[in-house]
Structure 1
Amino acid sequence: MAKGLFNNLQGIDAFGKTTEDVKVKPRTGAFLTILSAAIILSFTAMEFFDYRRVTVDTSIVVDKSRGEKLTVNMNVTFPRVPCYLLSVDVMDISGET
């Protein structure tokens, strides 16, 4: 019974088939398909490896072009350290603290 059902479903097709005499298969089309697939795969691989790469930048650059004082707010939590043991000392390039 299942075999007969599958045979009936094979005849149903949403897209009509073209005859062999109207199909054109040039070599340039195959070359462009292979070339575009290679380009897409290489870009995908490059983006994946760039996504997986970890870069650590430990420098901070302050924009000094505005000529104003810079307000820095920090919220740092140190578990199991009393507050009287913690301090932050900040000095700019001119020596102002």
Structure 2
Amino acid sequence: MTARRCLAVMEEQEIVERMPDPSDKRCINVRLTPAGREKIDICFRTLLAGYAETCQDCSRTCEGGLLPQGGCPWEAVLYCMATGGFPGASRDPHSVESPA
């Protein structure tokens, strides 16, 4: 799908609106509509919820004694990533696993 077609679809769904650039008639400015902003907010909340769940999983791993006492949370994240401790995670950066 071309960028132009992608924008047309988003415009049809009232996610974005296009306006001519007042300083350069060759350009088109694109901005989120209020409905588009709401959809973006929902996406970010979903991503943050997933991140929070991941942090909790790593915290439980750390509390379970799998990391040295006093290890920092980032060590827990790296440990979980390295051991495949995240749901859908893999040690192979090129593999794609579907979440359970």
Bin of the TM-score, shorter chain as denominator length? 0.3 to 0.5
Richer in strand (by share):
2
Richer in helix (by share):
2
For the pair shown, the structure with the greater C-alpha radius of gyration is: 1
- State the TM-score, normalized to the length of structure 2: 0.31
- State the TM-score, normalized to the length of structure 1: 0.32
Q: Greater RCO between the two (CA within 8 Å, min separation 6)?
A: 2
